[in-house]
A = this chain, B = another copy of it.
Amino acid sequence: MSQRRERRRRGKRGRREQERDVAITKMTQPLNTLPVYDLLNDEALELIHEKSIQILSEIGIAFYDDESQSILKEHGAEVDDEGVARFEPGLVEAYLEKAPGQFTQLARNPDNNIVFGGKYMCFSPVYGPPYVVDREQGRREATLADFQNFVSLAYMSPYIHHSGGTIVEPTDQPVETRHLDMIFSHIKYSDKAFMGSVISAENAADSVAMAELLFGADEIRVNPALISLINISSPRRLDDRMLGAIKVYARARQALIITPFVLSGAMAPVSIAGTVAQVNAEVLAGIIFAQMCQAGTPVIYGSFQTTIDLQSGAPVFGAPESQLSLYVNAQMARRYGLPFRSGGMFSSSKIADSQAGYESVMSMLPAILARVNLVLHAAGWLENGLAAGYEKFVLDTELLGMYHKYLQGVDLSEDGFAMESIQNVEPGGHHLGTDHTMRHFRTAFYRAELFDYNSAEQWAIDGSLDANERANIRFKQLLKSYEMPLLDPAKEEALLEYIAKRKQEIRPGADAGLPMG
């Protein structure tokens, strides 16, 4: 579908999209033109909206930062002595209107620019794990080399559209400067779009500076070059570090994903309705604040919600309750005309076993049906997000390939019905050699290369390898065949200079080291 038709279809948000939707060529990113799965009716959505407005206007959201409180007050929010802000319904409406309904993020390779919003989907890798795991070396602390490996794997997959952010925590690098190494690694090892650092205002400023060196300071004010993940500390709280990052990014016109981190039963009620109402209020508070910092800041409505095991207190992924919440949150985002983000191939399993497979699709398929715009954690997630799995990553990408096929829907043309073949093949005959089959067999079905479709006998001859063992072979082959995309040497030089300077400022006298690991 053309962007033009897409725009027309979305009706009430057309104007805003038009403003931001600077046409840029791209497209491995799929359009989800399938019907969306709406779990609740409009009346129920209105009820959730009302409850959220009650939370925003009566109960309030805490902003723990003086400057942020001033910004809120200046723009009409009421802030009490404890830093709790309350928003009148009219204020909520007015500032939500300022957020664009769709926007484009720049990638180093313009073919990899990403559209967020409308029917566009974007699959992005796992974010945040301090550990990595593979079946030979087991579980261990992630290093910068691991980071670069996962960036490389994401770069090589046609089904992953974004390079992600903290794809793993490079724990072998000093915590104060590792954001520089991460951003440089995204730039160097991939040409896909990437995410900024959100640990603090300073890290955000470094991210912006590096994006300016790569894309140009003016260019990134037209279309953002960074998108950054702001977690709200639920319940009802934004801390000073996250607020600092919001301010820096909004003022630099960079994009934000506002996502409450919620385990129902801990950071929110055990009920789905209560969780969704709270999450909605928290997201809206974050988005309104970003618009107060800079009207027109591109934002994504995010949800990261699951349940806890009420026996052990541990998070539980792939659970039915979080699927239901996801559908509803996606509907709320659509109600406000905002792009929506969720996970992902979530699992509580420690390894890429059947539990991981079951749980991952339980989480991921609803993201497809709910037409999520940005699927974070679309590959590699294990152990409640504490570990990135090498095997898991390449297995997940097989599923992402399936979803690309799935999103193509049903061809209802005359050719799609193949009536001539149906007529010509005798009762009990077969369609293997028909003209129709010969014309289509190369593209008719998606084939997961890593899944085994052989007979049991052939599978035994091949060594009776389970999917985890095959994935181990696969990811090593991929890393071996990896070829780095070309990077303009002048830009690389400028980035390395910036990094060296900043490392010296942040940790004077320490070995600056090149970020190449």
List the interface of chain A (C-beta within 8 A of B).
34-35, 37-40, 44, 47, 51, 54-55, 58-59, 61-62, 84, 131, 139, 233, 235-237, 264-274, 276-278, 307-316, 318-321, 323-324, 328, 348-362, 365-366, 369, 383, 386-387, 392, 395, 398-399, 402-403, 405-406, 409-413, 415-419, 421-423, 425-432, 434, 436-437, 440-442, 444-447, 451-456, 459, 464, 466-468, 471
- How far is the CB of A403 from the nearest CB of chain B, in Å? 7
Chain B residue with the shortest CB-CB distance to A432: B266
With A and B bound together, what is the CA distance between A434 and B362 in angstroms? 29
A269 touching B320 in the complex, CB below 8 Å, given contacts A395-B354, A423-B59? no
- Report whether A274 and B417 are in contact in the complex, using a CB–CB cutoff of 8 Å: yes
Q: Which residues of B lie under 8 Å from residue A421 when comparing CB positions?
A: 269, 274
Main DSSP-derived SS at the A contact region = mixed
Pair B270/A431 contact, Cβ less than 8 Å: yes
Residue of B nearest to A58 (CB): B423
Q: Is there contact, CB below 8 Å, between A270 and B445?
A: yes
| Contact A235/B425 with A139-B456, A356-B357 known, Cβ cut-off 8 Å | yes
Q: Is the CB of B59 within 8 A of A269?
A: no
From B40, B309, B426, B456, give the contact of A453 (CB < 8 A): B309
**17 A–B contacts, CB within 8 A, in A order:** A59-B422, A131-B456, A265-B437, A265-B441, A267-B431, A269-B431, A271-B444, A276-B410, A307-B445, A308-B445, A314-B454, A328-B410, A352-B354, A357-B358, A362-B365, A362-B402, A369-B369
Given the complex of chains A and B, what is the CA–CA distance between A268 and B356 in angstroms?
A: 34
Q: How far apart sit A441 and B352, CA to CA, in the bound complex (Å)?
A: 30
Chain B residues, Cβ within 8 Å of A236 = 422, 427-428
B35 touches A265 (CB 8 A): no
With known contacts A356-B357, A445-B307, A453–B365 Cβ distance under 8 A = no
A270 with B437: CB separation less than 8 A: yes
Of residues A266, A409, A434, A467, which shows the largest number of chain B Cβ atoms within 10 Å of its Cβ?
A: A467
Given contacts A51-B419, A274-B422, contact A359 B445 (CB under 8 A): no
Most buried by B among A314, A361, A454: A361
A224 → B minimal CB distance (Å): 29
B349 touches A451 (CB 8 A): yes
Contacts of A313 on B, CB cut-off 8 Å? Answer: 432
Which among B38, B39, B61 is the interface contact of A410 at CB below 8 angstroms? B39
Candidates B271, B321, B402, B417; contact of A415 at CB < 8 Å = B271
A21 to chain B, nearest CB (A): 27
Q: Contact check: which of B353, B386, B402, B431 meets A265 at CB < 8 Å?
A: B431
Could you say which residues of chain B place their CB within 8 Å of the CB of A268? Answer: 422, 431
Residues of B within 8 A of A464 (CB): 350
- Shortest distance from the beta carbon of A272 to any chain B beta carbon, whole Å: 5
Q: A59-B423, A369-B37, A456-B387 are in contact. Are A429 and B354 (CB under 8 A)?
A: no
CB pair B355–A358 under 8 Å, yes or no, is: no
A351 touches B466 (CB 8 A): yes
The complex places the Cα of A351 from the Cα of B62 at a distance, in Å, of 51
Report the 9 A-B pairs with minimum CB-CB distance, sorted nearest first: A357-B357, A274-B418, A361-B361, A62-B427, A269-B418, A320-B406, A273-B416, A270-B444, A354-B357
Is A37 a contact partner of B39 (Cβ separation < 8 A)?
Answer: no
A426 contacts which chain B residues (CB < 8 A)? 235
Q: Which residue of B lies closest to A266 (CB)?
A: B430
The smallest beta-carbon distance between A279 and chain B, in angstroms, is: 11
Q: Is the CB of A454 within 8 A of B312?
A: yes
Cβ B271 vs Cβ A430 within 8 A: no
For A270, what are the chain B residues with a Cβ–Cβ distance below 8 Å?
418, 431, 436-437, 440-441, 444-445
Contacting pair A445 B321 (CB below 8 A): yes
A348–B451 touching, CB < 8 Å = yes
Q: Taking each of A313, A445, A467, which has the highest tally of chain B beta carbons within 10 Å of its own beta carbon?
A: A445
User: In the docked arrangement, what's the CA distance between A445 and B274, Å?
Assistant: 14
A398 to chain B, nearest CB (A): 8
Measured CB to CB, the nearest residue on chain B to A438 is B270
CB contacts (< 8 Å) of A348 on chain B: these are: 451-453
Residues of B within 8 A of A412 (CB): 40, 44, 47, 273
Q: How far is the CB of A380 from chain B (nearest CB, A)?
A: 13
The reply to whether B272 and A410 contact each other, CB–CB distance below 8 Å, is yes
15 more CB-based (< 8 A) A-B contacts, given A265-B441, A310-B442: A265-B437, A271-B416, A272-B411, A273-B412, A312-B454, A314-B453, A314-B454, A316-B445, A320-B403, A323-B406, A350-B452, A352-B354, A353-B353, A361-B362, A361-B365
B residues less than 8 Å from A276 (CB atoms): 410
- Given A307-B445, A351-B466, A452-B349, verify A38-B35 contact (CB < 8 Å): yes
